[in-house]
Amino acid sequence: MYIIKQIPEDFLVWEIPKIKKEEEGDYAYFWLRKRDYNTIDAVRVISEKLKLPLRNFGFAGTKDKVAVTEQVISIRGITPERAKAICEKLSFKSIDLSYISQGKKPISLGDLRGNKFKITVRNLPEQLEIKNLNKIPNLFGPQRFSENNIEIGKAIVKKNFKKAFDLINQNYVKEYLEEHPGDFIGAIRQTPLKLRKMYVNAYQSFLWNKTAEAYLKTDYSEKKTIPLIGFATEFNDNAVDEIAKDIMEEEEITQRDFIIPQMPELSSEGGERELFMNLENFDVQYSIDELNKEKYKAIVSFALPKGSYATVVIEQLFFFYNC
């Protein structure tokens, strides 16, 4: 079986940001460099050290834990003078900040152009000839889902707010409910908005993966888009539509379930997503694997647009050795 992330340095990620630098503004932009932390946990550490609420922080996407990654984050209410002191205070082995500039807008989910990757794939028995780079399914990767994200998102969509509360299981959520018995919606709202949206998005991503995987069993030849189910999703392809509607029936949901009157900020209209990835600047170099005796390693470099997952690329390219 091939191995990725045997050490964090085997998985290097550089975000390709989309920010407008300003000399002044309410938001300070920083490069966040982290090792062996996922983005949310790293931001929580920074939040605690700076004694600032999580709602003051913004980021464009979640990056892997077992990795070394660089991405841009925004922090509201930080002046350039304070930013320099923050960088010195938060420079340690696993998390490091460097100041970029001020900005007038927070960084929100999706505010990036894409990501560049350099990934070491280990424990290979031989050097593999890479083929079919233009036919890699654009599936959502496992880091999209994390622990319980799909179940929390489905519970919110189904308006089962008690179940969503139970699954979130954070102290600050429990503390709110102790002071406001029975107010599960208020308790869930103690979670930062970007995280609440991620729960619903995770469930939509799960549905998309199921739809795409079922469709690819019938047709692997044509580039097309697959619907991302929401309350306003339009179905225009009979073959895909039938699969998506069967999955909704299995899940016991309808499109209107994605209208959430109790938390309208989480309502999602849906959209569409390309079935195959757009992989750029691909390169692979083989050498002897120094961590696994008598095996090869492949150092794979490429760039992906936002929303596409490098782990899926590796899984598809080296699936032959994934057993």
Catalytic positions are 64
Closest by CA position to 205, among listed 138, 158, 147: 138
Closest by CA position to 38, among listed 10, 61, 15, 18: 61
29 in Cβ contact with 73 (< 8 Å): yes
Half-sphere exposure of 66 (CA within 13 A, CB side): 11
**CA gap 77, 274 in Å, rounded:** 38
302 in Cβ contact with 281 (< 8 Å): yes
CB crowding 35-72: b at 16 or more within 10 Å, else e = bbbbbbebbebbbeebebebebbbbbbbbbbebbbbbb
Which helix H or strand E contains 72, and what residues bound it? strand 68-76
Closest by CA position to 299, among listed 282, 322, 276: 282
**CA gap 66, 11 in Å, rounded:** 7
**CA gap 214, 246 in Å, rounded:** 11
Distance in angstroms between the alpha carbons of the first and the last residue of the chain: 5
